[in-house]
Amino acid sequence: MATQANSVPHPTVIKVDPFIPADQQRGLHNRWHPDIPPFVTVKPGDVFKVECVGESTFFLVKSGQCVIGTEVVDDAGEMQIGLVLRLATMTVLSSIFAASDDIRDVDLSKVHNLSGPVAVEGAEPGDCLVVDILDVVPFEKMPWGYTGIFELENGGGLFAREFKSRACKAIWDIHGIYASSRHIPGVRFAGVSHPGLIGTAPSAELLATWNKREGALIEAHANAVPPVAFAPNPTGAHVGQDLPDDVREKIGKEGARTIPGREHGGNCDIKNLSRGSRCYFPVFVKGANLSVGDLHFSQGDGELSFCGAIEMAGIITFKTSIIKGGVEKFALKQPIFVPSPIDPLYSQKLVFEGISVDYHGDGKQYNMDATVAYKQAALNAIAYLMKAMRKSIRFCLELTIKHMRLAREQAYLLLSAAPVESHVGAVVDSPNACVTLAIPTGIFDHDIMPKEEGLKKLDFGQCAIRSDGVL
Amino acid sequence: MATQANSVPHPTVIKVDPFIPADQQRGLHNRWHPDIPPFVTVKPGDVFKVECVGESTFFLVKSGQCVIGTEVVDDAGEMQIGLVLRLATMTVLSSIFAASDDIRDVDLSKVHNLSGPVAVEGAEPGDCLVVDILDVVPFEKMPWGYTGIFELENGGGLFAREFKSRACKAIWDIHGIYASSRHIPGVRFAGVSHPGLIGTAPSAELLATWNKREGALIEAHANAVPPVAFAPNPTGAHVGQDLPDDVREKIGKEGARTIPGREHGGNCDIKNLSRGSRCYFPVFVKGANLSVGDLHFSQGDGELSFCGAIEMAGIITFKTSIIKGGVEKFALKQPIFVPSPIDPLYSQKLVFEGISVDYHGDGKQYNMDATVAYKQAALNAIAYLMKAMRKSIRFCLELTIKHMRLAREQAYLLLSAAPVESHVGAVVDSPNACVTLAIPTGIFDHDIMPKEEGLKKLDFGQCAIRSDGVL
Amino acid sequence: MATQANSVPHPTVIKVDPFIPADQQRGLHNRWHPDIPPFVTVKPGDVFKVECVGESTFFLVKSGQCVIGTEVVDDAGEMQIGLVLRLATMTVLSSIFAASDDIRDVDLSKVHNLSGPVAVEGAEPGDCLVVDILDVVPFEKMPWGYTGIFELENGGGLFAREFKSRACKAIWDIHGIYASSRHIPGVRFAGVSHPGLIGTAPSAELLATWNKREGALIEAHANAVPPVAFAPNPTGAHVGQDLPDDVREKIGKEGARTIPGREHGGNCDIKNLSRGSRCYFPVFVKGANLSVGDLHFSQGDGELSFCGAIEMAGIITFKTSIIKGGVEKFALKQPIFVPSPIDPLYSQKLVFEGISVDYHGDGKQYNMDATVAYKQAALNAIAYLMKAMRKSIRFCLELTIKHMRLAREQAYLLLSAAPVESHVGAVVDSPNACVTLAIPTGIFDHDIMPKEEGLKKLDFGQCAIRSDGVL
Amino acid sequence: MATQANSVPHPTVIKVDPFIPADQQRGLHNRWHPDIPPFVTVKPGDVFKVECVGESTFFLVKSGQCVIGTEVVDDAGEMQIGLVLRLATMTVLSSIFAASDDIRDVDLSKVHNLSGPVAVEGAEPGDCLVVDILDVVPFEKMPWGYTGIFELENGGGLFAREFKSRACKAIWDIHGIYASSRHIPGVRFAGVSHPGLIGTAPSAELLATWNKREGALIEAHANAVPPVAFAPNPTGAHVGQDLPDDVREKIGKEGARTIPGREHGGNCDIKNLSRGSRCYFPVFVKGANLSVGDLHFSQGDGELSFCGAIEMAGIITFKTSIIKGGVEKFALKQPIFVPSPIDPLYSQKLVFEGISVDYHGDGKQYNMDATVAYKQAALNAIAYLMKAMRKSIRFCLELTIKHMRLAREQAYLLLSAAPVESHVGAVVDSPNACVTLAIPTGIFDHDIMPKEEGLKKLDFGQCAIRSDGVL
């Protein structure tokens, strides 16, 4: 008989409130350090939930002039009219419409807000922690997320320099398994929901290795904008637990920043670490001390715009087990995983190629550089999508140009957020690495395949921009 | 009524003989140049076949002490015994067993042997040439192919330096849609059969651009081993047509080498340009002048070992059409394509991650370098597979070490040839690009999934090595 | 800024309590009739949720000696010991262990408990109601479901007669996207979660047609056990709304039973009407009056055991739109649909064939009967799976026989609940229809493929049986 | 070195000539009987080829007034004009255009022409014969096939009675992995190429069982048109080997007809027994005596029109092995198989439902009859597709009606030949079995999804009809 007694939810071992600043909450931390104690301990075999603020609330530390969420204007058409009227009414508009000022002003010293650490009983250094990611869902009360383009000078992104990026944003409505956006109409896709960031705690030795090698890189590129890497930084560091001052200070001073993925996992932003996947992590400290955050409703391979996934707050469900001595058994230098059987399947794809020549820029030949090749493939895809975007009638040249930039930014956001796949074609045919980027055509309401008559123009509306109108 | 009159095969517009040296055959060429005239002309809508020597016959220029094909020893066990007896009997062995001397001694100035050019009536610069790759099959009489590891000093490969590569080889038997190898037993997979190399002819301007930018790179890395790029080189140049001497000389002097992929397609080695795919090429010269070669029965993303696909000789079936002005309509800077509905589907995969830190080497931190990340993922996969390989009892330390190297080489060959998928995870989380490499578990006879008890050891036999026994 | 104001959940338009008998709840009904008024009205484009008791609570009308849920014994081994001790301790056991008495005693006059009707503004007869099934999830507090085998004399099932079915049951634990069962260990699969029952309300004419044609069938098979169809029956009828007595009486007297699917949809038990699918329903009454229930976490094609899916209580999320005149536009005689992109993908399958000869029974030849063929395929699969089940040592013959029966019942339950696929091979090769049934091998922890050495024996534990020990 | 010596094709153990009547060829037979001796013997592990005339040449016994093949008119438009002029010019037309007289006049006593038997060394009754279907391709010289609708009185088909079928035909051009047809333009799909018919030889006991049970059915439906089953019939029987007269006579008198599939496999017409699949056959006689024929380039689940696949002549490649005692090990009552990893993947599908009520006919309620349900789903799909067909302007009512019939016949042919999937939804919800039929939308050049504005009309041209113009 179904009774309340026998109907017990899986326990939530870390609870958060997405409406309270992360640095005021317990169970969150934003640095990697072996001395951060476990916030909670679970047994192998337990099914448990962890709540995450994701990165959709790190903006909360800012005052409220910007808008994320469902109350913003629903009609991209209105927004376009708004643009036309911009010179006269910008002050008004900025208080009505979604704007991207939050993106512009983000304080990146505070990212990422990780839930954890969760210790697993019996895990020892050298073991393999098997983690079943059983589900990843948004909070029921927050069925939305967003994708952002950071400013060149604050965060950047893959094309920050090429596009001289100004802050832009698309808000996505989450309707069950699907996302769609008022800022990129005509598109709907199933989410490959996953944690952008998940990892075990580093040992002191591993942490030292990270800091040393990244320090060397920073030193070699001292004035890069955006920076090439991020050194430990006590400012903004947060560990939502009661800690002795010296421990807290040590964590702030030594703790690795969460931006890059590393040998323990971390911010790998692999879209296929999705709900239903099984992951095998190396264990570096007693208990393994798993932390997780930066939940994504969806993301494309590459996560181009850096804040490129659909960032959401929500809940992740886990089950763990331990394989003793797994690091040696499986030669684990970094996690391995088995993808989910329910990752979205869109069989028809339009694939773009790129090689390691910057032919979208200065034409320079690189030597077997897959990153450059990836960028060309992505730029080819963006150029193609822009051919499928209807241009609005504009009153003045200035706005037409800006509209074109917005179309580009929308394509950039779309490739960042949709379940786009990027394959390494070949990395041996000197000097050109070849990388492909595949867009599933089934995510579009309209046909975007190449046709004799050219591409059908779609109305792509307009993404959210800065309230001061700067593009 | 089925009659011989109404039962007409699709015409073969270029015929080759895989048993005759390529440079003695008409309809083949091995440089890219706008002045190479079309060897044959087809109409849009025609279905036609083109025969290719692939790269399995470029060894023919060598004398015959090495063996590729089906008569070689079937039992890897014998070969292992052979190894043990090596010191005494190497001379005998080298005349009996498959050896990799052909790989060791390959003359790379002669690659690749392309069939073509095929002109398409009505194609003009600025058009898009739509090419349906309708089928790719081996010659009926040659149901085999091979995968090779080039020597560090002659050709190299992704891990030529790390592995100090000596020539190795696996011969694959092609059984209908499947490949399996006496040199890597316990594995069988369906081929993603495709042309490694397919492209339209460059215009004079485009060719000049290539030569200029690659020349600059060569100059900047003057003494690199293996070289970073390949300058035009009249030695070994071949155009299997009657040409005035000055034209032939010009082609030799200016013609772009076929090793890298470029804006026209070329040697992109994209496994999903497979039979059933539809490709959209930019047209740079009147007639488009399509050439094709380097047929692969199968290949993994990345084609690690450079000669990494299953190289085969065979037949490709095409159909073409023209979209006028397609370069502008689709913003084509490089080909785009739609993959085939029959690419092999293996849903369960074991995925390895890599970041842009050379943790398998000197530990150096690279800046968002997807190539380095790809290499780590591949090395992680190789290390894992080696855990699944049974070690034989050996009489002396020296041979045990070598056996370990062979296991590594077999894993290297397998990842090169099997339908492995490599995704760009993220290229924005500074400083670490993250790349994944996925091995379909269904290609193994045995279970290679991580287990509590560790990995079950498989007998991976042994690949073909140099006849002088140098490893 | 994320605020409580802009973070609003999708509204739940019908709420239920799975712990209260369905016939005491508003918003539920268990007959199809045009005079059941809409319980709630939505607008096209609204995203909304509907809660369903599913069929996991219809047992609530029984007293509480049986157990469904998570507190029951976790160890199939204990249960087997229990069986051995059965004669002595049955009274005790029946109060401790999960038992299937609820299944045995189910009152089928009360099924199914549908949530609804939901009217959609603007829908008129002749329109097509487009229904996006955006999500289907269990209640957070009830992460479990069950699959049952009805008794031959009360409900039956595909093999009720062949197996002389006694009540059995497997309880499934829902762990995120996966189900596994203490009663069928060694198996885990991703759910194809869907409503077993969803449909628009019939018009009076359509209802009359149903009653007439089904009445004729019942008349022709007057004493069939189990019955061939179910006539309207006021006993057990429920409409959870305030209704005039005459309307209530009319609904009870005329209302179509919910057991079969019909032209409006209804209890089609199509597993691919899953979360992410888009369905097109014919509209027969103003407002369309959509009702839904019988949520399944998973089901195999065929739903063999009748109560064969993983029955669960939970929440379904919808979005609707209307296509005016869609019945004519699409020649709709019954719903059509587009499956979800996230239905589980298990590429490797083991497929069983069946033909329309009852070779598992009396050997009779049927004439192109796909149902008979389906049954043979299923019986072949069950026989195969039983070869993969370890037999326990037993103290007496009697129990061994019963154990064999239980293995059969477990295979029967598994094929009912797992994402098994059944295809109609051919229905034209007189006299034998051919039907296949495919088991995804990836749902097993162990290898169940045919091997030279025969099948590896798995421990399949034991399903829940009647508390009186009758098998 | 690639040499002619080491480059040996897989041997072809049975060769046929598709231009010579089957009954004049050796290695072919058209009855199942244990006394048909093996035509050839292979060893386990051998890779070998078998040529098949398929069913595309059984028409050869007819005189040549009908046309199959590539010389027929390419333009469906011409054919339509032809129809309009029919009364005046039928005599002329019948000699010019493709006509379906061959289908009308087919002598079904001669089907099917099987290549074999092939004995496998060491196979004994009770063993399991593992058969790898490594490839299935058309003859290079015959890159075409056809799909036919038999006349009601000669062969019939699923809708022979409903449609009062007259002979119709679509000829398909095979372009590598794809088929397209001048008779159903706007459609192209990848083939699921397979043998319609493959099986081991029956033992004398099994043959007797077949003849007894089918004889009883025939007796019970003595005058059915088309017949419900086919008794042994010496007329038309053929065994292409030297046999004593008494053996030949016995085979003719007792030999089972090849039309239905049975316990040994046979004419199951399962599309997924395709190239790349692995099949496990029960062995009933020494050597197993495998025979194969009726090659299909493609087929939909159900093979509706009976001659419903794309029939082709061609070559099948096999490899076999033996599992001793496999019948017992795997409880084999009928073959089981593992599908191919390269079966075409079209993720987006439009799915039609059907229940066991003949609502397209007299409205009769059937009792859980999956065949009736399948028929409704197929008729729903045909009705839908007809909504997507453009009607031509016609001069007279008579021809318009006929054109509508032709559209229906084209949809019927298309569903028979394309990779349509039909699932058994549920067969337990009395009285209605529910069956679905899924059309992959990616096979159409145009969008056939349901739209607000109704369906876009496609030009479906016209299929080949009888030369006397009777529809």
Pair of tokens at residue B422:
């490599």
CA atoms of D309 and C187, how far apart (whole Å): 37
pLDDT tens sequence across A34-54: 999 999 999 999 999 999 997
Q: How confident is the model at residue B188 (pLDDT cuts 50, 70, 90)?
A: very high
C337 CB within 8 Å of a chain D CB: yes
Angle, vertex CA B134, rays to CA B130 and CA B140, nearest 5 = 145
Q: What are phi and psi of C92, to 5 degrees?
A: -65, -50
Q: Is the ipTM of this complex over 0.90?
A: yes
A464-465 and A168-175 as β-strands: parallel, antiparallel, unpaired?
Answer: antiparallel
More confident residue, D103 or B255: B255
Across the A:C interface, residue pairs with CB atoms under 8 Å apart total 166
Q: Indicate the SS3 state at residue D73.
A: coil
For helices A397-417 and A370-387, angle between their N-to-C axes, nearest 10 degrees:
120
Looking at the predicted structure, is the pLDDT value of residue A68 above 90? no
Query: Span A93-107, mean pLDDT?
Result: 70
Query: Chain D partners of B3 at a C-beta cutoff of 8 Å?
Result: 19, 64, 69
Note whether D1 contacts B59, CB cutoff 8 Å.
yes
Note whether D157 contacts C428, CB cutoff 8 Å.
yes
Query: Chain D partners of C279 at a C-beta cutoff of 8 Å?
Result: none
What is the model's pLDDT at position B78?
35
Q: Best interface-test mutation with B: which of C342, C348, C350 has the largest number of B CBs within 10 A?
A: C348
Q: What are phi and psi of B83, to 5 degrees?
A: -60, -45
CA atoms of B377 and C160, how far apart (whole Å): 53
A139 CB within 8 Å of a chain C CB: yes
CB C313 within 8 A of CB C18: yes
Note whether B442 contacts C346, CB cutoff 8 Å.
no
Q: Which long-range contacts (CB under 8 A, 24 or more apart) does C325-328 make?
A: C325/C126, C325/C127, C325/C128, C325/D454, C326/C126, C326/C127, C326/C128, C326/C129, C326/C280, C326/C282, C326/C283, C326/D450, C327/C126, C327/C127, C327/C128, C327/C282, C327/C283, C328/C126
Per CATH, the architecture of A12-66+104-338 is what?
Sandwich (2.60)
CA atoms of C197 and C269, how far apart (whole Å): 6
D347 CB within 8 Å of a chain C CB: yes
Q: What are phi and psi of D74, to 5 degrees?
A: -90, -15
Query: Strands (DSSP E) along D290-388, which ranges?
Result: 290-296, 306-311, 314-323, 336-338, 349-355
Ranges under pLDDT 70 in chain D: 1, 56-98, 391-404
Q: How does C152-173 read in b/e, with b if 16+ C-beta sit within 10 Å?
A: bebbbbbbbeebebbbbbbbbb
What is the model's pLDDT at position A89?
35
Q: Which residues pair with B115 in a beta bridge?
A: B28, B292
Q: Indicate the SS3 state at residue C383.
A: helix
Q: What is the DSSP letter of D320?
A: E
D97 CB within 8 Å of a chain B CB: no
Give the residue from chain C lying closest to D214, CA to CA.
Answer: C365
Give me the helices (H) in B139-241, please: 204-220
pLDDT tens sequence across B223-240: 898 899 999 999 999 999
- Domain covering B12-65+104-338, topology: Jelly Rolls (2.60.120)
CA atoms of D304 and D168, how far apart (whole Å): 14
- What is the share, in percent, of chain B residues with pLDDT greater than 70? 87
CB C427 within 8 A of CB D158: yes
Note whether C346 contacts B345, CB cutoff 8 Å.
no
Burial of B74 (0-12, 13-18, 19+ CB in 10 A): exposed
A3 CB within 8 Å of a chain C CB: yes
Query: Span B123-146, mean pLDDT?
Result: 97
What is the model's pLDDT at position B466?
86
Nearest residue to B218 via CA among D194, A431, A178: A431
Residue C381's alpha-carbon distances to C67, C150, D267, D330, D337, in angstroms, are: 30, 20, 21, 10, 12
Pair of tokens at residue B63:
């004398």
- Name the B residues in 193-232 with CB < 8 Å from any A CB: 209, 213-214, 216-217, 221, 226-230
How many Å is the Cα radius of gyration of chain C?
Answer: 22
What is the model's pLDDT at position C402?
65
Looking at the predicted structure, is the pLDDT value of residue B58 above 60? no
Query: Span A106-115, mean pLDDT?
Result: 90
Q: Which residues pair with A174 in a beta bridge?
A: A179
CB B35 within 8 A of CB B247: yes
| Length of chain A in terms of residues written | 471
Q: What is the DSSP letter of B442?
A: G
C344 CB within 8 Å of a chain A CB: yes
From the list A3, A68, A342, which residue is nearest C2 (CB)? A68
AA letter at D86: R
Query: Chain C partners of A148 at a C-beta cutoff of 8 Å?
Result: none
CA atoms of C28 and C313, how far apart (whole Å): 13
Cβ neighbours of B414 (radius 10 Å):
28
Q: What are phi and psi of C387, to 5 degrees?
A: -70, -20
More confident residue, A96 or B270: B270
Across the C:D interface, residue pairs with CB atoms under 8 Å apart total 327
pLDDT tens sequence across A286-330: 999 999 999 999 999 999 998 999 999 999 999 999 999 999 999
Query: Chain A partners of D348 at a C-beta cutoff of 8 Å?
Result: 346-348, 442
pTM for this entry: 0.93
Cβ neighbours of B398 (radius 10 Å):
11
CB B14 within 8 A of CB B27: yes
Note whether D70 contacts B4, CB cutoff 8 Å.
no
Pair of tokens at residue B146:
């091979």
Pair of tokens at residue B340:
């085939």
Q: Looking at CA atoms only, how far is residue D467 from chain B in angstroms?
A: 14
What is the model's pLDDT at position D391?
58
Pair of tokens at residue D178:
């794809």
Our CA dihedral for B413, B416, B417, B420, rounded to 10 degrees, sits at: 130
Q: Indicate the SS3 state at residue A127.
A: coil
Locate the domains of chain B by residue range.
Answer: 12-65+104-338, 347-465
Residues 6+ apart with CB under 8 A from B436: A270, A272, B351, B352, B353, B354, B377, B422, B423, B425
Across the B:C interface, residue pairs with CB atoms under 8 Å apart total 15
DSSP per residue, A227-289: -SS----STT--B-S---HHHHHHHHHHPBPSSSEETTEES---TTS-TT-EEEEE--STT--
Note whether C442 contacts B345, CB cutoff 8 Å.
no
Ranges under pLDDT 50 in chain C: 57-96, 392-397
CA atoms of C355 and D210, how far apart (whole Å): 12
Note whether B424 contacts A374, CB cutoff 8 Å.
yes
Nearest residue to A382 via CA among C60, C403, B336, C226: B336
What is the model's pLDDT at position D96?
38
Note whether B178 contacts D47, CB cutoff 8 Å.
no
Query: Chain D partners of B133 at a C-beta cutoff of 8 Å?
Result: 176
What is the model's pLDDT at position A85?
36
CA atoms of A425 and B184, how far apart (whole Å): 23
CB A290 within 8 A of CB A41: no
Q: Indicate the SS3 state at residue C252.
A: helix
Q: What are phi and psi of D409, to 5 degrees?
A: -65, -35
Q: How does D135-146 read in b/e, with b if 16+ C-beta sit within 10 Å?
A: bbbbbeebbbbb
Q: Which helix (H) or strand (E) holds B29?
A: strand B28-29
From the list D269, D339, D370, which residue is nearest C425 (CB)? D269
- Name the D residues in 379-418 with CB < 8 Å from any C CB: 380, 383-384, 386-387
CB D196 within 8 A of CB D273: no
Looking at the predicted structure, is the pLDDT value of residue B468 above 90? no
Give the residue from chain A lying closest to C62, CA to CA.
Answer: A1
What is the model's pLDDT at position B397?
45
